[in-house]
């Protein structure tokens, strides 16, 4: 055993645990399949008067027993244990230990699932930091240089590299935009983009997703009599194109949602207006392959979400997460539920979550690692707009309100993007179109979260 400290250098050779940790570890021993004699032999390891020799003897236990014992300690005690020797340092880094700690701390969720996270310790520290009421999170109003977009809502924002692309939107129903703006998150500069080829339509309430260097838009309305189908803006060629797609092409629509898995764009729900001005709310799911330009109407099984619009659709690894939305011209129905779609089995599952985000339509949503962040939107209990930030932990499906300072004004129908560890919100509606541009810096709280967590397992 390679000791990092000698017995005389570490609190007189005693391995000091908190009393709660001692009780928890002792309780664990009673449930481990070992003999009473071995339990008696282990007892000295939890005595504050134990010496370095006793610590050495503990390492003679089977690894699984040692891990079970260490898993019952508090994180602060594990930090002390790590200082004793290289072997215990490695033990305390074991993913199984931190998984047990996470499950114990947040076991109140009724849907805690076993997930093969790459680093449960990182998940623990990041989540704990976000949930701390003194987390230091503060919204900042960005004073960008360059040509800033005019006040608008129901536009889209899409991230490619360090750039955020804002497309379209409206100031009021009769004034819609056909412009593209690009924001450089490193130089803090806006730039109006005039494509070398093609011109976007004057539209709003469309969707936009990025696949490699291209931005695909679908749907949208010009405010008078025209809905739009599929378009693509190539950020390298600087060209706008109206695509001739094939297959089972979905109905052009507005107020739907879209997301990407691999080369495929998925759209769900929304609404369209028939010739007699009747509003039709949709509950269909369609998939567009960006390589073959082919549509496919999907017919999932499971808990099919209701027809809705104003919802949000995000990707967590290889599954789609659908949140919120509403139905009816006067929002006769409002939703803040969560559904997950698994394309491998073509099935929707409605998730039983703990807690709630009390918002329903046109919120601004972000995803980072296993966390879904929801800002603003319309209250599910009234017609008021909100400016709270909620987080859904998709590991244990539990909502939590995140405390922040200096939040932006209440709004809905704005756009949101996350670049690195920064969340950006632009525009939206608050009695009128606004052009506020705000950022929530999460430096030190979200780093390394992306690409660290695998796909969601089936939920019910």
DSSP code per residue over 254-301: BS-EEEEETTEEEEEEEEEE-TT--EEEEEEEEEEETTTTEEEEE--E
By DSSP bridging, strand 189-193 and strand 204-211 are: unpaired
What is the DSSP secondary structure assignment for residue 11, as one 8-state letter? Answer: G
Note down the domain range covering 279: 139-441
CATH number at residue 435: 2.120.10.80
The pLDDT, as a whole number, for residue 446 is 62
Residues sharing a CB contact under 8 Å with residue 228, sequence separation 6 or more, in sequence order: 201, 203, 206, 217, 218, 219, 220, 221, 222, 252
- The confidence band for 434, taking pLDDT boundaries of 50, 70 and 90, is very high
- The confidence band for 236, taking pLDDT boundaries of 50, 70 and 90, is very high
Lowest mean pLDDT across 118-127, 172-181, 310-319: 118-127
The pLDDT, as a whole number, for residue 215 is 99
Q: Which residues pair with 377 in a beta bridge?
A: 386
Lowest mean pLDDT across 127-131, 422-426, 428-432: 127-131
Mean pLDDT of 44-73: 68
Q: Are residues 88 and 152 located together in one domain of the fold?
A: no
Got the DSSP string for 49-65? T--HHHHHHHTTS-HHH
Residues sharing a CB contact under 8 Å with residue 317, sequence separation 6 or more, in sequence order: 453, 454, 455, 456
- The confidence band for 20, taking pLDDT boundaries of 50, 70 and 90, is very low
Q: Are residues 336 and 412 located together in one domain of the fold?
A: yes
Q: Which of 93, 122, 156 is the last residue of a domain?
A: 93
For the chain, percent of residues with pLDDT exceeding 90: 60
Query: Could you tell me the two tokens for 204?
Result: 């709003």
Per-residue pLDDT tens for 116-149?
Answer: 678 888 888 888 888 887 778 899 999 999 999 9
Res. 33: pLDDT tops 70: no
- The confidence band for 55, taking pLDDT boundaries of 50, 70 and 90, is low
Does a structural domain hold residue 108?
no
The pLDDT, as a whole number, for residue 53 is 55
Residues sharing a CB contact under 8 Å with residue 117, sequence separation 6 or more, in sequence order: 95, 99, 123, 370, 395, 452, 453, 454
User: In angstroms, what CA-CA distances link 186 with 8, 144, 189, 416?
Assistant: 52, 11, 8, 17
- Name the 3-class secondary structure at 441: strand
Lowest mean pLDDT across 21-30, 49-58, 220-229: 21-30
Where does 25-122 show beta strands of DSSP type E? none
Query: Could you tell me the two tokens for 383?
Result: 């017609």
Q: Are residues 204 and 69 located together in one domain of the fold?
A: no
What element of type H or E holds 426? strand 422-429
Q: Are residues 73 and 162 located together in one domain of the fold?
A: no
Q: Are residues 228 and 285 located together in one domain of the fold?
A: yes
Q: Are residues 296 and 381 located together in one domain of the fold?
A: yes
Res. 222: pLDDT tops 90: yes
Does a structural domain hold residue 127?
no
- Name the 3-class secondary structure at 307: coil
Residue 41 vs residue 240, higher pLDDT: 240
By DSSP bridging, strand 230-234 and strand 319-327 are: unpaired
Q: Which of 62, 93, 124 is the last residue of a domain?
A: 93
Q: Are residues 144 and 68 located together in one domain of the fold?
A: no
Q: Are residues 296 and 220 located together in one domain of the fold?
A: yes
Res. 359: pLDDT tops 60: yes
Does a structural domain hold residue 63?
yes
Q: Are residues 64 and 212 located together in one domain of the fold?
A: no
Mean pLDDT of 356-360: 96
Does a structural domain hold residue 456?
no
The pLDDT, as a whole number, for residue 109 is 52
| Mean residue pLDDT across the chain | 85
Q: Are residues 185 and 259 located together in one domain of the fold?
A: yes
CA-to-CA distance for 43 and 338, rounded, in angstroms? 47
Res. 337: pLDDT tops 80: yes
Q: Residue 376's closest CA among 418, 416, 334?
A: 416
pTM of the model: 0.83
Number of domains in the chain: 2
- The confidence band for 158, taking pLDDT boundaries of 50, 70 and 90, is very high
Q: Residue 449's closest CA among 337, 335, 368, 375?
A: 368
What element of type H or E holds 363? none
Does a structural domain hold residue 239?
yes
Per-residue pLDDT tens for 96-124?
Answer: 899 888 888 886 554 445 566 788 888 88
- Name the 3-class secondary structure at 141: strand
Got the DSSP string for 177-208? ---EEEEETTTTEEEEE--SB----S-EEEEE
Residue 330 vs residue 321, higher pLDDT: 321
Residue for token pair 């966390």: 371
The pLDDT, as a whole number, for residue 442 is 85
Lowest mean pLDDT across 71-80, 201-210, 221-230, 410-419: 71-80
Does a structural domain hold residue 126?
no
User: In angstroms, what CA-CA distances link 193 with 165, 196, 355, 406, 426?
Assistant: 9, 9, 43, 32, 17
Q: Are residues 72 and 175 located together in one domain of the fold?
A: no
Q: Are residues 404 and 272 located together in one domain of the fold?
A: yes
Does a structural domain hold residue 230?
yes
Residues sharing a CB contact under 8 Å with residue 351, sequence separation 6 or more, in sequence order: 111, 337, 338, 339, 340, 397, 459, 460
Res. 433: pLDDT tops 60: yes
Query: Could you tell me the two tokens for 322?
Result: 């659908």
Characterize 354-363 residue by residue with b for buried, 16 or more Cβ atoms within 10 angstroms of its Cβ, and e for exposed. Answer: beebbbbbbb
The pLDDT, as a whole number, for residue 285 is 99
């Amino acid at each position: 055993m390679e000791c990092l400290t000698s017995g005389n250098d570490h609190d007189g050779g005693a391995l000091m645990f908190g009393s709660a940790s001692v009780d928890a570890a002792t309780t664990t021993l009673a449930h481990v399949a070992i003999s009473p004699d071995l339990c008696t032999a282990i007892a000295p390891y939890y005595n504050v008067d134990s010496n370095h020799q006793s610590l050495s003897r503990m390492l003679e236990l089977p690894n699984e027993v040692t891990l079970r014992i260490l898993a019952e300690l508090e994180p602060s005690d594990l930090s002390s244990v790590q200082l004793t020797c290289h072997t215990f340092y490695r033990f305390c880094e074991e993913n199984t230990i931190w998984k047990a700690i996470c499950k114990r701390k947040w076991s109140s969720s009724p849907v805690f699932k076993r997930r093969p996270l790459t680093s449960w310790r990182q998940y623990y520290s990041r989540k704990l930091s976000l949930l701390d009421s003194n987390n230091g999170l503060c919204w900042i109003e960005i004073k960008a240089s360059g040509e800033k977009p005019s006040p608008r809502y129901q536009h889209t924002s899409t991230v490619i590299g360090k750039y955020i692309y804002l497309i379209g939107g409206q100031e009021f129903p009769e004034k819609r935009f056909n412009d593209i703006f690009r924001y450089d998150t490193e130089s803090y500069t806006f730039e109006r983009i005039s494509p070398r080829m093609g011109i976007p339509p004057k539209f709003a309430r469309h969707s936009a997703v990025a696949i490699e260097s291209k931005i695909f838009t679908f749907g949208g309305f010009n405010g008078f009599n025209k809905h739009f189908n599929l378009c693509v803006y190539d950020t390298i060629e600087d060209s706008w194109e109206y695509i001739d797609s094939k297959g089972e092409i979905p109905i052009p629509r507005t107020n739907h949602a879209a997301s990407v898995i691999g080369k495929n764009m998925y759209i769900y729900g929304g609404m369209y207006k028939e010739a007699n001005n009747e509003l039709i709310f949709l509950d269909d799911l369609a998939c567009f392959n960006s390589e073959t330009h082919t549509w496919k109407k999907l017919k999932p099984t499971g808990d099919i979400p209701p027809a809705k619009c104003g919802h949000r659709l995000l990707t967590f690894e290889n599954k789609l997460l659908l949140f919120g939305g509403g139905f009816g011209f006067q929002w006769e129905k409002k939703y803040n539920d969560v559904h997950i779609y698994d394309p491998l089995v073509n099935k929707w599952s409605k998730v039983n979550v703990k807690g709630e985000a009390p918002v329903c339509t046109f919120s601004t949503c972000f995803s980072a690692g296993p966390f879904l962040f929801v800002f603003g939107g319309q209250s599910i209990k009234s017609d008021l707009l909100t400016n709270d930030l909620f987080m859904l932990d998709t590991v244990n499906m539990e909502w939590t309100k995140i405390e922040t300072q200096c939040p932006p004004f209440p709004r809905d129908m704005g756009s949101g993007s996350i670049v690195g560890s920064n969340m950006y919100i632009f525009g939206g509606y608050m009695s009128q179109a606004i052009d506020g541009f705000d950022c929530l810096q999460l430096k030190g709280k979200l780093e390394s979260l992306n690409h660290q967590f695998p796909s969601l397992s089936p939920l019910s």
